[in-house]
Structure 1
């Protein structure tokens, strides 16, 4: 088995959080993804993964809200945190889309201690198991530790650390073969207005606590190069330049809205085949320079940018 070449706190997976999970998976199949089998979290959510070599997209929804707070929740500062309820509140707050971005960890305890010491607010740690079915039909159980860093002032631009104790059950080669020939996430872009001269950028302080000097401004774009993909923050004017004449995800139409992920950039080994597949399956998309961009409404309220050498 070939395990991912992840760096500490590299992009592990964005959570594309949707109301109708089955409908969203149908959309992703039309784009040429081959989702992993559907499975369920103990806190009431339903999930399927678009697996790549070093990271993945998780399409997640709510299956059973009655399980909120009953399994694998944690008490922090007297309040009980439940991951399922966090996702449900995101959907209640606004539209679908990227609710959180998971960062890779090989030691959740040590990484949790380091980022807490760096000043990031944390809801603590959660350990859980998730039943799953492997490509050969065998049933097994993933064992996962999460370290939660949900900033109440940045509810749609927060993170958690994900430590897979049995990575061989997640990074399955058979789940990494997609008709669109996508092999990884290269960037996630946020919309975030910079504020005034007296107020630091809402994401800069957070990203510097995680990545230190790997955070930099380039041509007006805040970037955090985490060694496995890039986190980017653009303002409304830059977003309009990068996605001309395209509707941004619905919850971010107001430039004064809180920071929120608007796009996931993916590498494909065969851009021409990807474009032909999208056209054949009537997936709405635009060609912007070297990028093929799928409309947010066709991807769970997030723009998907496909890039790659011809």
Structure 2
């Protein structure tokens, strides 16, 4: 069963975006730059991470062309509309198998894409990291990006020192999307995740992945559960909200320097407008 590898969260300024998460007690990795013009910092959790991403000033972003997906161009276009979560990424054990599964599920596929770079650890040592990305697309809407990520050197990528957060954050436990009719996207999500069954209810669609839950809620259900609105247009499906479990909810509140947020359903909720487009539910160990 696949797991969530990471969530791409896009902001107009990497400095402003990073600061918004650091203010909540998260510890992002140092800034790194992709050769195609985007820059990022990562928030490593237990088995998954958040990729804080922006477009470098003056960068020359490669354009997409037929059969090829441009990661940089997609996120640049996303930023022209809004900030926040732009891409949902699952882990991969084989790019070839992912591509075949997407084709079998009737999903579009793009040219294989791979890259590698040298990452510098806090102690100054340099280690090679590399990834193979297998992109696909939701046939009903292209507002969100989807791909799998094969990590060639996980022993070099994951660093214990970057998984220590002052707010005691440990795990990405749920990812919440919003659609006017969640059932419209049921077939795509089954084909993308490879999960043969999904839970359908009056609230929406729920798919159990390895270590996390993927939910698609209607706008009314989302607002009822999380306490703030997330409007969507037409048949769009929008990644709106993340649930992160912490070792201590009290420790999170002490570390988070914010006047916003509220208690709801046993979680501490930060609406999307307080975190540059990303909504958060922080849950303690008893409710995780």
Please report the TM-score for the alignment, with normalisation by the length of structure 1.
0.86
Determine whether 1:62 maps to 2:55. Answer: yes
CA contact (8 A) 2:24 2:258 kept: no
Q: Please show how residues 176-255 of structure 1 align to structure 2 within 5 Å.
A: 176-194=163-181, 201-209=183-191, 210-244=193-227, 246=228, 248=229, 252-254=230-232
Select which of 83, 88, 91 maps to 1:104.
91
* Cα distance in 1 for residues equivalent to 2:148 and 2:109: 11
Q: Please show how residues 109-148 of structure 1 align to structure 2 within 5 Å.
A: 109-148=96-135
The Cα shift of 1:151 comes to 3.0
CA contact (8 A) 1:47 1:58 kept: yes
* Cα distance in 2 for residues equivalent to 1:296 and 1:123: 31
| Unaligned ranges ≥5, structure 1 | 1-6, 196-200
* Cα distance in 2 for residues equivalent to 1:122 and 1:160: 10
Please report the TM-score for the alignment, with normalisation by the length of structure 2.
0.92
* Cα distance in 2 for residues equivalent to 1:51 and 1:100: 16
Distance 1:300 1:141, change over 3 A: farther
Q: Which deviations, in whole Å up to 9, do the C-alpha atoms of 1:37-72 show, x marking residues without a partner? A: 1101111100111101110111101015643228xx
Distance 1:263 1:143, change over 3 A: same
| Unaligned ranges ≥5, structure 2 | none
Determine whether 1:282 maps to 2:253. Answer: no
The Cα shift of 1:257 comes to 6.3
State the superposition RMSD in angstroms: 2.0
The number of residues matched between the two structures is 285
* Cα distance in 1 for residues equivalent to 2:105 and 2:233: 29
Q: Please show how residues 22-61 of structure 1 align to structure 2 within 5 Å.
A: 22-61=15-54
